[in-house]
Structure 1
Amino acid sequence: MPSRRSEKEGRSVIEAELKARVQDPEGVMARLEKRVPGRPEVYRDTYYDDPAGGLDASDRELRVRTVHGPDDTRSVLTYKGARVDTASGSKPEHETRVEDPEAVHAMLRGLGYVPTIAFEKRCRNYDFTAAGRRMLATLVRVPEIDGTFIEVETIVDEDDVHTALADVRQVLAELGIGEQDLTTELYTDAVVARRNA
């Protein structure tokens, strides 16, 4: 299946996304299930950087993700550029499916990148349309972090980010998520903090 995150007529596409802590996971899940049945998946993520930490220092990300679902396992290579919206953390994203993740890990190491962190996310994904946009809502639990999170995203051109984020906020409001619940905390940072505690 081709990725929906790619170059579009030579312009960057942006993952317009908001993330929030969920105070009522059961209630939010029930509201999502009314829209569309959820898809349980386990993500195993490995993040890479150059030895000097140049990607992290410039707010970029390089990740290999393997997704284990009920019917299949797939892997993707993702590059995220520096955020274009500080309040939400939305970034340009380029992602492609890979058939052999071990080969990709070997290629990245061969190019001089080093794995900086690997961890697991337990997700329940919901694909639906809202405000005329294809949306993906994901309920997330990271075993090493307390609490449940929700991410709602849509892929847009760079000139549509603010309008798209308003539509994402509306979806979150309909799910019972308030502005006070929003967070830009990165899972990577939270996992590192927990491991160093």
Structure 2
Amino acid sequence: MIEAELKARVHNPEYVMGQLDRMAEGRPEVYRDTYYDVPSGSLDARDQELRVRTIHGPESTRSVLTYKSARIDAESGSKPEHETRVDDPEAVHAMLRGLGYVPAIAFQKRCRNYEFNSHGRSMLATLVEVPEIQGTFLEVETMVQAEHELSAALDDVRSVMTQLGIHEGDFTTERYTDAVAASRTPDAGAAPPV
């Protein structure tokens, strides 16, 4: 599967949330993400990601193991993704460490998720705040089976974001991992780039 996703900085979170609330019921969740790499950093160097995510919701907690290969679309940052639910995240953390992977970075995301259909596709819109990064972000994604479907899917995602008040200059492909890492360096300014 390929995650057709666009991400943008949100300048008016209340407006965007109000628009999303008209489309679907929002689900508040907190993600605790740990990204793994080998000690040499070769996964990151190849633009690959290996992540354990634990999602805390108001009524349940669940965890997933995700592998994302390198970007296949530079403009959006969209990547092929393989994800599976895990019953025992601590066992998965232990397995990854036992196989030689090391935690590269871990952080928290405060999310409000909205699932809806648009343009004949299942969509997920997520309003995101990361405590270590200034601002609010919007991610909208849908999944496609093959690379030749990606362009049309991204057009549909962009259309939804435009309806939500996102403008061309608001889009970004910078990863949260990079922004959080920059915020943790001693010479990082008060407002790390995102």
Q: Which of 152, 159, 170 pairs up with 2:159?
A: 170
**Residue 170 of structure 2: aligned partner:** 181
What SS class does the counterpart of residue 44 from structure 1 fall into? strand
Whole-Å Cα distance in 1 between the matches of residues 71 and 180 of structure 2?
Answer: 21
**Residue 127 of structure 1: aligned partner:** 115
Q: How many residues align?
A: 185
Question: Under a length normalisation based on structure 1, what TM-score does the superposition of the two structures give?
Answer: 0.93
What SS class does the counterpart of residue 103 from structure 1 fall into? helix
Aligned-pair Cα RMSD in Å:
0.4
**Structure-to-structure mapping, 1:1-197, within 5 angstroms:** 13-157=1-145, 158-196=147-185, 197=188
Cα-to-partner distance string for 1:35-80 (whole Å, 9 max, x where unaligned): 0110000000000001111100000000000000011000000000
Cα-to-partner distance string for 1:133-178 (whole Å, 9 max, x where unaligned): 0000000000000000000000002220000000000000000001
Shift of 1:119: 0.2
Structure 1, gaps ≥5 residues long = 1-12
Whole-Å Cα distance in 2 between the matches of residues 28 and 168 of structure 1?
Answer: 15
- Name whichever of 97-106 and 151-160 sits farther off: 151-160
The percent of aligned pairs where both chains have the same amino acid is 71
Structure 2, gaps ≥5 residues long = 189-194
Shift of 1:179: 1.1
Supply the AA of the counterpart residue of 1:108. L
Displaced runs of 4+ in structure 1, greater than 3 A? none
Question: Under a length normalisation based on structure 2, what TM-score does the superposition of the two structures give?
Answer: 0.95
Whole-Å Cα distance in 1 between the matches of residues 4 and 103 of structure 2?
Answer: 26
Whole-Å Cα distance in 2 between the matches of residues 174 and 42 of structure 1?
Answer: 26
Whole-Å Cα distance in 2 between the matches of residues 78 and 15 of structure 1?
Answer: 12
Supply the AA of the counterpart residue of 2:34. T
Cα-to-partner distance string for 1:80-118 (whole Å, 9 max, x where unaligned): 000010000000000000000000000000000000100
Cα-to-partner distance string for 1:120-141 (whole Å, 9 max, x where unaligned): 0000000000000000000000
